[in-house]
A and B are shown apart, each in its own frame.
Chain A
Amino acid sequence: MKVTVTVNGGQVAAEVPDRTLLVHFLRDVAGLTATNVGCDTSSCGACTVLLDGRSVKSCTLLAAQADGSAVVTLEGLANGSGELHPVQQAFRAEHGLQCGFCTPGMVMAVVSLLEENPDPSEAEVRTALEGNLCRCTGYHNIVRAVLAAASERRPS
C-alpha cells in the first residue's frame, strides 16, 4: 500500500508491503538508520521515535498506521545549524551513552518525557524510562542527563 509520512519535516511516500513495520519504513525507505531494533517483544525501546509529538515504539506500529502522520527520529532532533538539542547535549556532558545502540530510542523517550513533565524528580525519571533498556550505563548517567536537561530547559 501507499504510505506517506512526514519524517523530520520532509515528506516520505512509498509503496510498501502492508505488513511493513514503521521502524523498517524509517530505516529502509526513508534511509534513516539511527532508529534501532533491539528486541521483538516491544520491551527494549531502542526503536522509540516521536509520532505526532508522542513517543512510540516504532517496531510495534505498522508503517500504514503512521500514514499521514509526522515522525521525528534522532536525526531530526538537532536544529539545522547543527546545534545539539538540550537532551543530546546533556547525554554527552553526563556520559549518558556508551555503545550507543539504545541511545536514539532513549533520547527520543527523554524528549517526550520532558515535554510531558518538564521538571521530573529522579524517581519520576526512572519510572518513565522503564520501557527503555540500556545494558551499558546502569542508567546512572542517563538519569543525570535527564535531570540536567530538565534543569537547562527550566526558565531561570
Chain B
Amino acid sequence: MSILGTRVVRTEDPRLLTAGGTYVDDLRDPELAGAASVTFIRSPLAHALITNIDVSAALDAPGVVAVLTVADINDLPPPPPPPEEGFEPPPGSEAAPLPLGGHWSEPLLAVDRVRFVGEPVAMVLTDDSYQGEDAAELVSVDYEPLPAVASIDAALAGDSLLFPVTGTNVAVTAGASADGTAFDGCEVVVERTIVNQRLAPVPMEGRATAASWADGKLTVWVSTQNAQLSRFVLAGAFGMDPAAIRVVAPDVGGGFGAKIALDRDAILVAWAAKHTGRALRWVETRSENMVGMTHGRAQRQRIKIGGTRDGRILAYRNDIIQDTGAYPRMSGFLPFLTGLMAAGPYDIGHVAAANRVVVTNTTPISAYRGAGRPEATAAVERAVDLFAAEIGMDPAEVRRINLVPPDKFPYSSGGGAVYDTGEYVAALDKVLAAAGYSELRAEQARRRERGDVLQLGIGVASYVEITAADAAGGETARVMVHDDGTATVYTGSSAHGQGHHTAWAMLVQDELCIPMDKITVIHGDTDLIPFGTGTYASRSLQLGGTAVHNAAVDVKERARAVAADLLEASPADLELDTESGVWQVRGDPASSRTWGEVAAHAGPDGLAADANFTEGQPTFPFGTHLAVVEVDTETGKVRLLRHVTVDDAGTVLNPLLVEGQRHGGIAQGAAQALLEEMVYDADGNPITGTLVDYAIITAAELPSFELLVSETPATSNPLGAKGIGEAGTIGATPAVQNAVVDALSHLGIRHLDMPATPARVWAAISEATANSATGEGQ
C-alpha cells in the first residue's frame, strides 16, 4: 500500500521536542565564535529629517566594536539611478517592478529622512547584546519633525509627501476605471466602504541574521523562507559573484510571508560583517519586530454588488486603496492579486477591480499569509452577505445560486483568472450539513424570540484562491541514492514548520521503496542547493514536491539500467520489489540487488537525478467555512463557538500536515476577524507595538475546529496537489466576520469592520438600539 495519503507523524519532531530547533540565535558554528551583537538604532518618529548623528559617546561605551551610520556605507555599488524625466507613474501592476524603485526606492540606512517609526538609522556592534542596548542609548540623532502621513486619507490629501520629488503619495494606479453599463440590469445594487485592517505577522521567531566574512567568502545565516533569493539579493547589493556568497536558512520559527524578502536590516548585518571583518549576529526583539518586520493587509475597499431580487448576482466591483506603508516594496502586486481574485467562486457576468497604492509613514506592507487573496475574499463575501440581506434571502442560498457550477471548469473568472477544477456547491452543502445549518438558524431564531443576552451568529464564506501564482517559476530537487542504501533529497523549497522533510521523504519512499528513516532531506544551503525558489504562496508541494517526485522517478529509471547491467538482464525485465525494496529480475527473488549495491555500481557520478518542475498554470483550491459565534449584547464580547470547513486542496499527501496548515490558518483568520489590528495614532506612532497591545489569539479564545474532507485533484501536476498554506486565513476571516454581523442583523446592523472587538461591537449595538428607539433605520 502506498504511504501517500496516510497520517505519517513528522520526522522533524524528535529533534525539535528534545533538543529544540537550531534557530539563528542558537547557531554555534565555529565561524560565529565570538560574533559581535548588532543593535539597530531605529527612528522614533514617523516622518522627520535627520539633521545630525553623533556617535561619539557610544563609541566609548563598554564592549563597543563599531557604530555605523549611512556615512560608513562607502563600499557598495550605487543603486540604479532614478529616471531622468521626472516622475512617471509605472504602468499596470502586473508590469510594475518589485519593489518600486527609482524615486521610491528604499535606502539601507536612512540617509537624511526617516519615513516610519522603526526605520533603521544606525547600528551598534558590541561584544554582547546587553552592551548593545546600553550603547544604543548613547547614539544621539537630531530630528526635525515633518507632518506625518498616518492614514490613507492623509496620503490622498497629499499635504505632506513622503517622496517630494514624485509630487504625490500615490505610487501605483491600475485596473478598470468606469462601470459603464455593468450594473444597468440590476434590480438591487448595494455599495459599501469596508476596511481590511493592517496586521502584524508575528512569527514566534522574529527576524534574525548572522554573518561572517572570511577569505573572500561571505556566509550569511538568515531566518528566511528562501535562501536562494536571499543570495541573489545580497549578490546584487554587494556587487559580488553569487558563488562567493553562502546563505543558510537554519531552522526558521515561522514566516507567514514576512520572511520571503531579505529585509534591509539583514542586508546591513551582512554588509557590516564584511565591512568590519567581524562575525556578527542580530536577533531582533519583539518590540523591534512589531515595527521593523513588514505588516500585511491594510486595504480600504469600496465594494459594489448588484443583481436580481431572486438572488442572481450580475455585477460586482472592488475599488481598492492599498496602504503600502513607507516604501512600496510590493509595488502594486498585492491589490493586483486582490483584483485577480475579486469575483471569488461566483459566476458573475461583470466583474471589475481597480487599485491605487499609497505611501504612508508606517511600516512597509508586504505579504502576510494570503497576500491579497484574503482581502479579495473578505470583500466579496461581505458583498454577498450585504446583497443577501438587501433582498431578504438566506446568505447560504445566495451562494448556492451563484457558485460556479462543476460543469463550467476550467472557468474563466470575471477577475481574469482561469479556475482549474472545483466542486464549489458540494463544498458548501457539505459544510452546511455537517454544521446542522437549519438547526443553527432555528436556535438563532429562538434566542432572538426570547431576547437572550447571548445572541447567535452564523457566518458562511465560500472561497477560491490561487496557489503557486508563480507556477512557471518552478522548483528544484535532487534525489541521490548512496551505496549504503540511504538517500538524500536536496530541495529548493524551504520549510519553516510545514513538514517538508516528512512529506518529501514520503514521496521518495513511495517511488523508491527506500524507508523514510533512511532518507535525509536538506534545504536552505546555497552551497549545496544553488538554485531554488523557496516556500511561499502555497507552492511547496505542487512544485517542490512534484520536483522531488520527478527526480525520484528519474533515479528509479537510472537504477533500473544500472541494475540491469549488474544482473546482466534487460532493463525491461527488472522490477523494484515494493515489499522488500530490492531490485530483481521479475519473479526471481534470488537475483535481488539492494539499492546500496546498485548505487555502488552506478559509476563515479553516483546514482542521482535532478528535476526542475514548472507548472503550466497555477492551481485554485476552494472551500467553504462556517463560523458560529455568540455575541454578548451587553458587553460586545464575541466568542467563536464552532468553525466548520471544507478546504479542498486537491489530492492530500499527508492529512496530518494538511490539517495542521488548516488549523493555523483558521486561527489567524479568526484573529483578524475578532482581535488583531496594528494601530497608529495621527502622528504615525504605533500604539500596538508589543504583544501586550497587539492581541495575538490564544488557546482560550478558540474552539477545536471541525474539518471536513474533500479532494478534487489538480490537473497541472502529477500529484494532483493544490496549495493549503493560506486556505485558513482566506476562508476563516470572512466566515467569522459574517457571523458577528449575522448575530446582530436583527438589530438592523448590516456591517462591522474588523476586528470585531468588544468596544466596536458594543458601540454598534448601542447605536442600532438608539436608532431603533428613534425610529431610524440603519
Contacts and interface: CB of A to CB of B under 8 A. Distances in A.
A17 B127 CA distance: 14
17 contacts: A33-B25, A40-B286, A41-B691, A44-B204, A84-B14, A92-B9, A92-B10, A97-B13, A99-B497, A100-B16, A103-B21, A126-B699, A129-B700, A131-B698, A134-B699, A138-B667, A140-B704
Interface stretch (A50-58, A63-71, A73-81): A73-81
A74 B12 contact: no
Interface string A79-103: 0001010001001110101111111
Interface in B627-673: 656-657, 659-660, 663-668
A75 B700 contact: no
B130 A19 contact: yes
Interface string B349-365: 00000000000000000
Contacts of A82: 18
Given A39-B691, A98-B498, A99-B252, 6 more contacts: A41-B690, A44-B204, A101-B203, A122-B704, A127-B699, A138-B667
B370 interface: no
A141 interface: yes
Contact of A136 (B22, B254, B691): B254
A5 interface: no
Interface string B106-131: 00000000000000000000000010
A46 B286 CA distance: 12
Contacts of B251: 99-100
B17 A140 contact: no
A28 B776 CA distance: 65
Nearest to B666: A138
A112 interface: no
Interface string A16-55: 0101100000010000011111111101101000000000
A130 B698 contact: yes
A46 B25 CA distance: 14
B663 A91 contact: no
Contacts of A143: 699, 704
Interface of A: 17, 19-20, 27, 33-41, 43-44, 46, 74-75, 77-78, 82, 84, 88, 91-93, 95, 97-104, 107, 122, 125-127, 129-144
A34 to B, nearest CB: 3
B254 A91 contact: no
A32 B705 CA distance: 35
Given A33-B26, A84-B17, A143-B699, A46 B204 contact: yes
B696 interface: yes
Main SS class of interface, B: loop
B204 A75 contact: no
Nearest to A20: B130
A102 B203 CA distance: 10
B20 A34 contact: yes
Nearest to A103: B16
B700 A136 contact: no
A136 to B, nearest CB: 5
Given A35-B20, A95-B657, A129 B496 contact: no
B285 interface: yes
A6 to B, nearest CB: 20
A107 B13 CA distance: 13
B516 to A, nearest CB: 14
